[in-house]
Each structure stands twice: as structure tokens, then as C-alpha cells.
Amino acid sequence: MLDADNGVVVQSFSIKLDFLTEHVSPEVEQLTKQIDDEVREQSKLNVQREVIQAQLAVLESNRALGSEKEGASVEQVNQMLELVSRRMSEVLLADIEIKEKIAAIDKNIEKLKSQLDEAQQKTGQTVNQVVVKFYTAKAVTSNVKLSYVIPDAGWVPTYDVRVNSITQPVKLSYKANVFQNSGINWDKVNLTLSSGNPSEGAQAPKLQPWYLDFYQDYSSSKMARSIPRPAPAPVAEMAAGANAPELDGAMAPRAKSSLSDYVVTDAGGVNTRFSISLPYNIASDGKGHSVTIKDVDVQGDYRYVVVPKIEPDAFLQVQLKDWEQLNLLPGKSSIFFEGSFVGQGYINIAEAKETLDLSLGRDKKIIVNRENGKQLTSKAEFFGNSVSQQYSFVTSVKNTRKEPIKLVVMDQMPLSRDSAITIDGLKYDGASYDKDTGNVQWALDLPANQSEKFTLSYTVKYPKDKRVSNL
């Protein structure tokens, strides 16, 4: 888009490629200069080596002349040879140091050349020229503003989630990894981050009729081979200039462009924009540059979730209410608990319901133990043509923290896929039970330095001539 002020009218503008102007990115220029500097330094060292070789030749000839000199005493000859030997040792040691420096420079040049090749591949692009036709009734001075979209720029949302204590709010730092490979460094720019993606269509897709037909065996006869093949499987098609995919039946996955791989689109279809007043420098290197969007304190309810059948650990979670007001987008998170980094997580707002549940990692101060089922399982009892076997498990949880905690313990009862397998005698000590999923859940407050036990038992009955899987 191109605008002009002060009464100047933009009649037309066009874009053409300039193949004559050489485009070199700042990264390529810097790497080329570094390589030139290293080569220049290497040349100086090679000259020093040539001087050393000349010195060695002179010293060698002096040593030969000294040993053959007539009229010189033995002491004089020895003194001369000792002087020559000492000087040759100094020169040879200097030559070794220079060779080591040259070898180190060779390695550095190879690294720089590899990096230069990579940079040249990223910036192997032509230069665009904008040709504009203006109209004005008189001679004036006008400011012209050019806005354009580049495909090699975007941002990825990331988060820092910090919890100093389960009695304090969550400190949420909303960040963005901004990248661009436009060939121009952005120096001291004010960024506006949007969740929208200009490369995606703005219009809703349209459905076309989806026809089914019988499959034809085209290799059975010449007649069959002459019959036209049915239409290919439905795929998404993009109409030229329409920006709206039309579906021939069903949607097929589209390959993502480089922008789609990195730019996040709001699932609700409404773009979220973040204007950042603090200037940032974003180099044209295609790498992510961290930008802080905002820091907020968020109130939440902390709870510990224990699934002892799978993991003998307690996982701290925080349930955030009114999370819609935070304008969050899906993204990775770095989790810090009580001043220590505990791991990576992922904020997925698509799974949020009334609350947004964030996992804050394991807390070893909550001790979990689930007793081995073999010790509490009765032996199989035979009744006619059936086998009946009872299973029982006891989970103990101890809170060694200095403050009380909210605890959720999850376990499960088996479900039968066959009417010949019956499960009865369910006991779960006051927990809630979902008969459709078999999930059992206890929820309670556990005081500091206190422990609690949770018992689950059931009986499985099945024909004695059968074996039950997953039991």
C-alpha cells in the first residue's frame, strides 16, 4: 500500500524485479569482511615464515663457515657455533608458533565460509523496485508512505510461568520470539504483533458436491481401460485471486508455508494485536529474538493431581479463572517453581473450559505410594465354569509441606468389552465414580505433615477356559 499527503495523488504503482543491483545482506557483508581479515592476517604470517626461512639459511651458512674458518681457535669456533645454534633455536620456535597460528586461522576460515554459504542461501533473492506515478496540480513537498508484506517474518508466542509459593499469584510473562529474514536489519523499531496471518484466506470455504461411484478394475480388459477414471480424491483448491479454498467434497491438509509454520492464528478468528512501545533491534538472520509483551500476576487455585497407577509423583496444577481476559495464544512455556526451573510446558487454550489448567511440574515434597496389587490380590476361586478373582490397591499420600494442599487422586476400575467378563464388588471409599470411563477420583484438603490412604477394590469374573487380557 502506498500513500502520499499534501494533495499528491497516487495514480498508479507497480513492482518490478531489478536484476542489475546486487543485493547483499548485512550478515553476508560481515562474514565476508571477517574472512578477508583472516586471509590478510594469514598472509602476514606467511611473510614472517619466509623471513624465518631466510634467517635459517643465513645461520646455516654461518655455521658451516665458522667450522671451516682457518686460524680460528677451538674456543672461538665453539662460541660461534653456540651462538648460531641458540639463534636457530629461537627462530625455529618462532616458526612453530607461526605455523600453529596459521593452522588456527585455516580452521576459522573454514567455519566462516560454511556460515557464509548458509547466509547466502537464505538471502539469495532479487531486488524489487517500486515504480510510482504521482499527480499534483502544483509543485509541493509530500511525504510518501510505503507499506508491504514480507513472507519471511513472523513471531511465536512463548511464556514464562513463575510460582514462588502456592499461596501467591502466578507470575505470567508473555513473550514473543520475533524472526525476520527480509535482508534488512530492523534497528530501533516499534513492533506491533498480530495473531492474524496475511497469507491465509479471509473468506469462508465453499463446499462442492461430493459424488461417490463404484470402483472400476481398469486392468481387467481393454474396454475397462477405455472407461474414463473417476475424479480424484477430494482436495482443497485455491481459486486464483479469490483467497478462498473451495472443497471438492472433503478437506485435505495443506502444506504450510514458512510463515504459516511460525505465525500463530487465533482460533476464534479475531486477530489480537500487541503494540510494543519499547524499540527493538531485530537482525535479518532468521533467528528468534525474544521480545517481552507484558508481565501479569494471575490469581489461580492450586491443586496437586496424583495418578499413582501411572506415575508415583504428585503434579502441581494451577487453575486460572477469567483466562479469556489475558488474550493468550497457544505456545510453549518455561516453568519456574520456588525459584528453580522445573521444565517445559505448553499452554493450549483449545483445551480450556471454565478454567485454564497449567501444569507446574512434579513436587517431591508430596510423597506418593501405591502398594503392589499382588500382595493384596486374592487367589483365583473356581465356581463351576467360572473364575472369580478379587483385586485391591491402596494408595498413600503424605504432605510434607508446611502448608495444607488441595489434593486430587485419580485411579480407575476396569471396563468389560465382553458380556462374559463381569466386574462387580466395586469399592472406592467415598470417591466419585464414572461408570462410562471407569475413572475414580478423590478430592480433599490434606493438612501439612499429614497423610491419607485411598483404597480401591473390585472383583473380576470370567469363564475358566478363557484368559483375560490387560488384567
**Tens-place pLDDT, residues 395-417:** 999 999 999 999 999 999 999 99
Q: What is the mean pLDDT of residues 317-341?
A: 90
User: Does one domain contain both 168 and 287?
Assistant: yes
Within this chain, do residues 191 and 241 fall inside the same structural domain, yes or no?
Answer: no
Domain boundary among 299, 331, 364: 364
Could you report the per-residue pLDDT of 54-105, keeping only the tens digit for each?
Answer: 888 877 776 665 555 555 555 655 666 677 678 888 888 888 999 999 999 9
How many CB atoms are closer than 10 A to CB 275? 10
What's the CA gap between 424 and 417, in Å, rounded?
Answer: 14
Based on the fold, state whether residues 172 and 300 are members of the same structural domain.
Answer: yes
Of residues 289, 286, 259, the one with CA closest to residue 122: 286
Q: What is the DSSP code (8-state) at residue 233?
A: P
Residues 353, 404 within the same domain: no
Predicted pLDDT of residue 252? 34
The pLDDT score that the predictor gives to residue 240 is 30
**Mean pLDDT score of the chain:** 80
Which residue(s) pair with 280 in the sheet?
Answer: 189
- pTM of the full structure: 0.60
Q: Which DSSP state fits 378? A: P
| Residue 237 domain boundaries | 200-256
pLDDT of residue 55: 81
Residue ranges of E strands in 215-355: 236-238, 245-247, 273-275, 280-282, 289-298, 300-306, 314-320, 331-337, 340-347
Residue 342, pLDDT > 60, answer yes
Give the whole-angstrom CA distance, residue 359 versus residue 351: 13
First to last CA, the chain: 67
Kindly indicate the confidence band of residue 424, based on its pLDDT and cuts at 50, 70 and 90: very high
Residues 8 and 32 in one domain: no
Residues 184, 45 share a domain? no
| 310 and 192 both lie in a single domain | yes
SS3 331: strand
Same domain, 246 and 219: yes
Q: Which pairs with CB-CB distance under 8 Å and at least 24 residues apart come from 118-121?
A: 119/25, 119/27, 119/28, 119/31, 120/28
DSSP state of 225: H
pLDDT of residue 172: 93
Q: Could you give the number of structural domains in the chain? A: 5
